Amino acid sequence: MSDKHIIRRGLAKLALDYETGQKTSNFITSNIGVVLNGVENIPKSGPAIIAANHESILDILLFARITHRYIHFIAKKELFEVDAIYGPWLAKTISNCFAMPIDRNNPSASQIKEYMSQLKQNHVLAVFPEGTRKRGLHEFHGLVGLLAYNKNIPIIPTGIIGSKDAQEHWFESPYVEVNFGGAMYCNSQSPKKRGIEKKKTIDNFTIKLNDRVAELMRYDKSA
C-alpha cells in the first residue's frame, strides 16, 4: 500500500459530519451579508425542490446557513471522484452533508431513484438546473420537472444575486441576495400523462422555471 493511499484513507476518517459541516459553512460565510427574500415560500414540512441559478460554490454554503430545513444537494459526480490526496475526505464530507452524485451527461436510473426516494421521505432537494457554475443564466436541463412530474411537489424557483462577486471579493465583506419565489408545479393537464405528453409538459415547465428564476435574479435574458 502506497504512502499516498494510506494518507487518503486517513484523511477520509477525518471527514466532517453534517453538524460540523454546517458550522464550517457558517464560519466561511460569516463575513458575507445576506439579503433574504421569500424564505417563507419554503414549506415547513413535506417534500420540496429548490431550483436555483448557480454562479459560485458559495451558493451551496449559503443554503446551509439561511434555510430552516435540512437540504439534500444534487452534485456533479466528479466531486466524489477527485484524484487528489484529499479526494476521499471531500467525497465523505459532502456525502455526510447530504450531497448525492449525478452524472450530468447521463443520469442513471439508480440516481433518479435515489432522488425520488429522498422526496418520498419528505426531504428538500436543492438542484442547480444549469448543471454547472456559470455567470448569468443559461438553459436548464429537465431534471426538476422529471422528479416532480404529476406528484404535486412544490418547486421553489430561486434567484441568487452576487455570489460570484462575493467569492471573488470575499475579504471585502460583500453581500449576496437570495430570492425564493412562490411554489411552481409540474403537473399535466392532459388525461394522457405519459410518453409525448409527459415530455412536452416537462419541457414547457422547464422553460417557465428558467423564466421565473431569471425574474428572481433580475436577469435580462434578451441582453
pLDDT tens-digit series, residues 87-114: 788 888 888 888 898 887 788 889 999 9
**8 Å CB contact between 213 and 137:** yes
Q: How far apart are CA 49 and CA 9, in angstroms?
A: 34
CATH topology of domain 32-76+100-216: Glycerol-3-phosphate (1)-acyltransferase (3.40.1130)
Strands 124-127 and 48-52: parallel
State how far the Cα of 205 lies from the Cα of 184, in Å rounded to an integer: 9
What predicted TM-score, i.e. pTM, was given to this entire model? 0.89
pLDDT in tens, 174-184: 989 999 999 99
Locate 102 and state its grid cell: 449525478
Q: Model confidence at 192, in pLDDT bands (50, 70, 90)?
A: low
Q: Are 42 and 67 in contact (CB under 8 A)?
A: yes
What is the predicted pLDDT for the residue at 190? 67
Q: Is the pLDDT of residue 9 over 80?
A: no
Take residue 216 and report the three cell numbers written for it: 428572481
Please state the rounded mean pLDDT for residues 147-151. Answer: 93
pLDDT in tens, 69-86: 888 999 888 888 888 787
